[in-house]
Amino acid sequence: MNSRRSRRTLLATGIAILSIGSLAACAGGSDGGSGGGEGKDPKAFTVLLPNENPTLKAQLDALAENQCAAENEALPLEHQSVAQADVVQKMTLLASQGALPVHFVAGTAQVRPDGDLGASGLIVDYNEVLEPAALDNILPAAKSTVENVYGGMVSLPYQYNVEGIWYNKQIFADNGIEEPQTWDELMDASAKLQAAGITPMAQPGAAGWPLTRIMGMYIQRNVGPEAMQAIRDGDAKLTDPEYLAGAQALADMASAGYFGEGFTTMEPDASTNAFLTGTSAMKYDGSWLLSNINDEGQNTIGTENVGFMPFPAVSGGKGSIDQWAANAGTATATSAEQFGPLVSDWLTCISENYGQQALQDAGVISGFKVNGEVTDVPETTALVQDTIANIDETVLWFEALFDPKSNSLASTNVSLLVTGQMSPEDYMKDLQASIDANK
Amino acid sequence: MKSVFGDRKTIIILLGPALLLYVLLKIVPVAWSLGLSFFEGNSLRGFEFVGVDNFVKFFNDGAALQSVGVSVVFAVLATAGQVTIGYLLALLYVFVLRRGSAFVRTAVFFPMVLPTVAVALLFKSFVSVGANQGPVNDLINFFGFDSVEFLASGAGTMAVALVMTWWGSMGFYAVLLFTGLLDIPEEVIESARLDGANGLKLVRHIVIPLSLPILLSSLIFSFNSTLKVFDSLLALNGGGPGTQTAPLTLYMYRTAFEYAEYGYGSTIAVILTVLCLVFTLAIFRSSRTKVED
């Protein structure tokens, strides 16, 4: 009996030691890397990108073969991939194992100064480690957007997207509609289009964010460009009347039927198809839609019929129609531990050549300068380029400064808001409570 | 032979490798998860011991409690449907189709081999509305009613998820229960018939009591698998609208892997394990009493 009891005690002690040992091993991960970009060069330029962005991989391959062939010779480019949905999990795991790739995508919150990667000193601030010549190749507007979103220059702007309302010029002309300059004009135009049997605006509710963007932009126009920073800093609450007005405006637009039938569960591809086949007259989206617009197989209304306008002003609001929402794509960081001279050469080469390469080859507008001639730029792409060139001030999107939980809540609950299952007051109250709880 | 299997060393040699694998793959992760539930943080930020704070947080977390509700409601309804439809099909195989049931059994079992996510996408397109309207709303329109956006409400999404689950798994439970019915001695059925028990009377007084053990095993099996539902509800509507159909597994996944809160995520996993255990024991206890009766 005694012997059995002592065996059990031994077994229990063994399991306890194993568990504690495992936990202690995990806890050691907080020591992080060296930081400050003082690392040694790795054996390869490993780049981890999301599966959902094949364009970036293709453009880096093209650079490796051409403009950056010498850098590739010295430090060969190697790809790794991850599903966008698994980015946070994968990077947390790799970082804790000391196995970060050289250049990689990461979660927005992870790369911020107080984020898991930023606080551990595992990633570089490009402002500190890149040569001035390389930094000069990043467009000031893109640099400013990156710093606003991530709290530092910790991401390279492989995309530079502005957001606005794409519209069908032919449908507008047929119905005697001019580009709406105010929210009221947008609602009048929507009513006119709906009466004519055309879906005013195709918004894919299944994704969540295409709906919160409208609410966020209404708030930016109503409160001013600092609206979301004020929420982050605790100087305002989403339950304040001027913020509530944004949720109300979105709910009203939905209940009026301006998003068409079945929009709540509509997927992004379906809404893009509705716009590019002329079923709907407008679509709030980013400049990344250019790849669809420039694809003749998808666009049956013709590129000449596609217009792009800023989100309209709100009467009496402090924001301006000239302030465009902008973003610089997914966070793309570089490991501090592996940032040596050869990695620096690679990133410098990318900054010099990516802008031209991506625009010429894939029609992608990036946050890098276009150093060289680009031929046969499609009409709509040129229109967006002009727009970007003339922007003086950009604003962030609704969830840009939220913590990951509140970001997710904003997108998931918006379907309840637009179907009337949740009042604007309750939507904003829940969201504000989440923001407060996760500070 | 008896001396071989009676030898302790032989038992250890034969069972040892399997037992070791079981401990490594099942017991260690559960113990690890239990250990993590007393910590806060993740493998990068490091872990901080917080005692039972995560458990206290769970019982004060509205979203977590809502997820428990979703999981339990889904498990109860899905189990009731799966076992009932499966049992009716099994009765059909044994008493109506008899030896000619092989083809029907195969046809009904077929959805079981399809990936859950593919089935969810199929049902999503069945009930879609608008430009790419599915056949369900076409039928509703045919009878003069307006289209219904099933996935825009929690009740609608849950209804579609249940139909999808029943459709996908009824063949499996039918086959499981069919084998149970085959075990009932033919003589017992015959003598009951001679005593005047036919149709429902025969099923109620003879077939159900004699197939009770396999019925209750099916209940335990079904409840445990549906309580841990994840992929079908995620693929169907992402746990939406809002979080109205987000089960506990999805909440755990988001907490641990999207928000990188491994400690609290482990706490949710531990509570899910306890839930499964409690329900299994409850069904098992009631089954033992009934079977012994």
pLDDT of residue A321: 95
Residue A104, domain member (yes or no): yes
CA B130 to chain centroid: 33
Shared domain check, A410 and A282: yes
Task: Give yes or no for residue A4 having a pLDDT over 50.
Answer: no
Q: How confident is the model over B90-119, as pLDDT tens digits?
A: 999 988 888 788 899 999 999 999 999 999
pLDDT of residue B291: 52
Shared domain check, A222 and A114: no
Q: How confident is the model over B229-277, as pLDDT tens digits?
A: 999 999 999 998 999 999 999 999 999 988 889 999 999 999 999 999 9
Residue A413, domain member (yes or no): yes
Contact residues, chain B, for A28 at CB < 8 Å: 46
Sign of CA dihedral B198, B203, B204, B209: positive
Task: Give yes or no for residue A429 having a pLDDT over 80.
Answer: yes
Q: In the numeric block, which tokens belong to residue A358? A: 């991506």
> What domain range is B19 assigned to?
1-28
Closest CA to A335 of A145, A131, A124: A124
Shared domain check, A190 and A67: no
**CATH number of the domain that residue A27 is part of:** 3.40.190.10
Task: Give yes or no for residue A15 having a pLDDT over 80.
Answer: no
Shared domain check, A247 and A111: no
Shared domain check, A306 and A185: yes
pLDDT of residue B289: 61
Residue A136, domain member (yes or no): yes
What interface predicted TM-score (ipTM) does this complex get?
A: 0.84
Shared domain check, B78 and B16: no
CB-nearest to B46 from A20, A30, A404 is A30
Q: Do A404 and B130 touch (CB under 8 A)?
A: no
Residue A378, domain member (yes or no): no
Shared domain check, B23 and B82: no
Shared domain check, A95 and A36: yes
Residue A423, domain member (yes or no): yes
pLDDT of residue B43: 82
pLDDT of residue A39: 64
Contact residues, chain B, for A15 at CB < 8 Å: 27, 31
Q: Which residue of A has its CA nearest to B148?
A: A262
pLDDT of residue A33: 35
Q: Do A416 and B241 touch (CB under 8 A)?
A: yes
Sign of CA dihedral B141, B147, B148, B150: positive
Q: Do A262 and B242 touch (CB under 8 A)?
A: no
Q: Do B46 and A27 touch (CB under 8 A)?
A: yes
Shared domain check, B9 and B55: no
Highest mean pLDDT among A59-68, A82-91, A364-373: A59-68
Shortest alpha-carbon distance between residue A38 and chain B (Å): 20
Q: What is the average per-residue pLDDT within A172-190?
A: 97
Residue A377, domain member (yes or no): no
Q: How many structural domains is chain B composed of?
A: 2
Interface test with A, best of B23, B45, B49 (most A CBs within 10 A): B45
Interface test with A, best of B12, B40, B44, B234 (most A CBs within 10 A): B44
Shared domain check, A417 and A279: yes
The Cβ-side half-sphere exposure at A256, using a 13 Å CA radius, reads 20
Contact residues, chain A, for B41 at CB < 8 Å: 27
> What domain range is A403 assigned to?
163-326+395-437
Q: How confident is the model over A128-167, as pLDDT tens digits?
A: 999 999 999 999 889 989 998 999 999 999 999 999 999 9
**CATH number of the domain that residue B222 is part of:** 1.10.3720.10
Share of chain A above pLDDT 70, in %: 91
Residue A384, domain member (yes or no): no
How far is residue B195's CA from residue B210's CA, in Å, rounded to a whole number? 17
* Phi-psi label, residue A402: left if phi above 0, alpha if psi -120 to 50, beta otherwise: beta
Shared domain check, A175 and A32: no
Shared domain check, A352 and A310: no
How far is residue A435's CA from residue A29's CA, in Å, rounded to a whole number? 27
Closest CA to A127 of A151, A108, A103, A102: A151
Shared domain check, B139 and B7: no
Q: What is the average per-residue pLDDT within A303-315?
A: 95
Shared domain check, A257 and A246: yes
Share of chain B above pLDDT 90, in %: 67
**What pLDDT band is residue B3 in, cutting at 50, 70 and 90?**
low
Q: Which residue of B has its CA nearest to A100?
A: B44
Q: How confident is the model over B129-175, as pLDDT tens digits?
A: 987 899 999 999 999 999 999 999 999 999 999 999 999 999 999 99
The β-bridge partners of B39 are B49
Task: Give yes or no for residue A2 having a pLDDT over 80.
Answer: no
Q: In the numeric block, which tokens belong to residue B201? A: 């009377």
Q: In the numeric block, which tokens belong to residue B45? A: 């930020």
Higher per-residue confidence, B48 vs B2: B48
Q: How many structural domains is chain A composed of?
A: 2
Shared domain check, A199 and A171: yes
Shared domain check, A317 and A200: yes
Shared domain check, B226 and B171: yes
pLDDT of residue A3: 46
Range B110-115, long-range pairs (CB < 8 A, 24+ positions): B110/B171, B111/B167, B111/B168, B111/B169, B111/B171, B112/B168, B112/B169, B112/B171, B112/B172, B114/B168
Contact residues, chain B, for A120 at CB < 8 Å: 44-45
Q: How confident is the model over B203-217, as pLDDT tens digits?
A: 888 899 999 889 988
Contact assessment for residue A347 and residue A334, using Cβ atoms and an 8 Å cutoff: yes
Shared domain check, B254 and B123: yes
Residue A11, domain member (yes or no): no
Task: Give yes or no for residue A41 having a pLDDT over 90.
Answer: no
